């Protein structure tokens, strides 16, 4: 079960190490085109400026790996390296050291330890905790909807399932975040194709709506379409991400994707389906998702979990 990735994600911006710079040139810290990522490690400022927050975090993780060759990455840092979802730009670099008596933080680094044995692996010279440990650690620590997104992604990408995640959780003596982790891990499925779908599934449950079928195929007018969420008995389809997932770099390709999606939706409506759409922000904010499903005719079957809904988008671990 201790799955190791075949490869790690590369740094999305080049890293320049001061110790490898030519001695004849000026010091790197004087070069205004460079940005210091970590002591002795720089990147190109324009490249950094063009990165999303989670990509900047991956650059920081790689810079730390250059500075600390012996580091074993865990939590969000390991997730970033293996391509699991990272939300915003995490504040801390997370590493694991089982020799320590207790966990400690300094600067932007948290060193975790554990009374339980922790399996690790090495890929391309960088050491990380294995995938089940990464998933369980984050399910304990992240808000539940985000923990579910990580577990879903690991299930889809690495072929692990809820039973395996729960087995790893129950092997550990640590009681921190167990109930939170159990909520996320028991719901892990490989069908969710994006973090937005996973978060939407959590919000749908907490709003009190009936559980949807996931990734349902629809045969319509000689074509096969697939929906993110489907309630066949109510003739309602839910689509996560909406038009934002077609924000492609190629305007012509984006326009074609929008046209094809409109044709697909029109065809489904001609067959009597009511289609509700929302984007990632709409799921985090709850109201847009809930209102879209209500407008499509879906009704709650139980009382909403207001406490869970109020905290969907709160993640103090990231900026």
Bridge partners (DSSP) listed for residue 38: 41
Asked if residues 227 and 191 have their Cβ atoms less than 8 Å apart, the reply is: no
Per-residue model confidence (pLDDT) at position 28:
81
Q: Is 147 exposed, middle or buried (0-12, 13-18, 19+ CB in 10 A)?
A: buried
Which tokens go with 310?
Answer: 């109020």
Burial pattern 223-262, b for ≥16 Cβ within 10 A else e, equals eebebbbbbeebebbbbbbbeebbeeeeeeeeeebeeebe
Which of 4, 6, 8, 1 shows the shortest CA–CA distance to 129? Answer: 4
Nearby residues of 16 by Cβ (< 8 Å), 6 or more positions away = 28, 34, 41, 42, 43, 44
Query: What digits encode the pLDDT tens for the residues 237-256?
Result: 999 974 445 444 566 666 67
Query: What digits encode the pLDDT tens for the residues 49-94?
Result: 999 999 999 999 999 999 999 999 999 999 999 999 999 999 999 9
List the chain domain ranges.
Answer: 15-186, 198-310
Q: Where are the alpha helices (DSSP H) in the chain?
A: 45-49, 53-67, 75-82, 131-141, 144-158, 162-171, 178-186, 195-206, 251-270, 280-285, 287-295, 306-310
DSSP 3-state of 225: strand
Which residue ranges of the chain lie beneath pLDDT 50?
242-244, 246-248
CA angle (98 as vertex; 87, 37 as ends), nearest 5: 45
Residue 250 Cα to chain centre, angstroms? 25
Per-residue model confidence (pLDDT) at position 260:
78
Per-residue model confidence (pLDDT) at position 29:
79
Would you identify the CATH topology of the domain 198-310? Answer: Endonuclease; Chain A (3.40.960)
Bridge partners (DSSP) listed for residue 95: 73, 111
- Residue 298 and residue 207: Cα distance in Å, rounded? 11
Which tokens go with 84?
Answer: 């699991």
- Residue 217 and residue 16: Cα distance in Å, rounded? 49
Q: What are phi and psi of 200, to 5 degrees?
A: -60, -40
- Starting at the edge strand found earlier in the chain, the sheet holding 213-220 runs 213-220, 223-231, 236-239, 274-277
Which of 197, 109, 104, 70 shows the shortest CA–CA distance to 146? Answer: 197
* pTM for this model (two decimals): 0.92
Per-residue model confidence (pLDDT) at position 24:
63
């Amino acid at each position: 079960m201790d799955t190791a990735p075949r490869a790690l994600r590369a740094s999305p911006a080049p890293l320049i190490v001061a110790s490898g710079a030519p001695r004849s040139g000026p010091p790197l810290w004087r070069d205004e085109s460079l940005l210091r990522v970590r002591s002795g490690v720089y990147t190109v400022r324009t490249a950094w400026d063009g990165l999303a927050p989670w990509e900047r975090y991956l650059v920081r993780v790689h810079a730390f790996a250059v500075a600390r060759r012996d580091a074993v990455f865990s939590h969000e840092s390991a997730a970033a390296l293996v391509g699991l979802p990272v939300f915003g730009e995490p504040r801390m670099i997370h590493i694991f050291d089982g020799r320590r008596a207790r966990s400690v933080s300094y600067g932007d680094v948290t060193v975790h330890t554990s009374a339980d044995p922790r399996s690790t692996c090495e890929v391309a010279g960088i050491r990380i905790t294995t995938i089940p440990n990464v998933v369980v650690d984050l399910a304990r620590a992240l808000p539940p909807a985000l923990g579910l997104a990580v577990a879903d992604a690991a299930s889809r990408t690495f072929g692990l399932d809820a039973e395996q995640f729960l087995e790893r959780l129950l092997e550990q003596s640590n009681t921190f975040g167990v109930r939170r982790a159990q909520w996320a891990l028991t719901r892990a499925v490989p069908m969710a194709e994006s973090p937005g779908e996973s978060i939407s599934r959590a919000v749908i449950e907490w709003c009190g709506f009936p559980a949807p079928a996931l990734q349902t195929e629809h045969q319509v007018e000689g074509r096969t379409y697939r929906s993110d969420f489907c309630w066949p008995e109510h003739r309602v389809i839910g689509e996560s991400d909406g038009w934002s997932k077609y924000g492609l770099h190629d305007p012509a390709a984006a326009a074609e994707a929008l046209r094809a999606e409109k044709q697909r939706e029109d065809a489904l409506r001609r067959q009597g389906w009511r289609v509700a759409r929302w984007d990632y922000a709409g799921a985090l904010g709850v109201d847009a998702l809930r209102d879209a499903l209500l407008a499509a005719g879906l009704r709650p079957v139980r009382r909403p979990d207001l406490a869970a809904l109020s905290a969907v988008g709160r993640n103090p671990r990231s900026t």
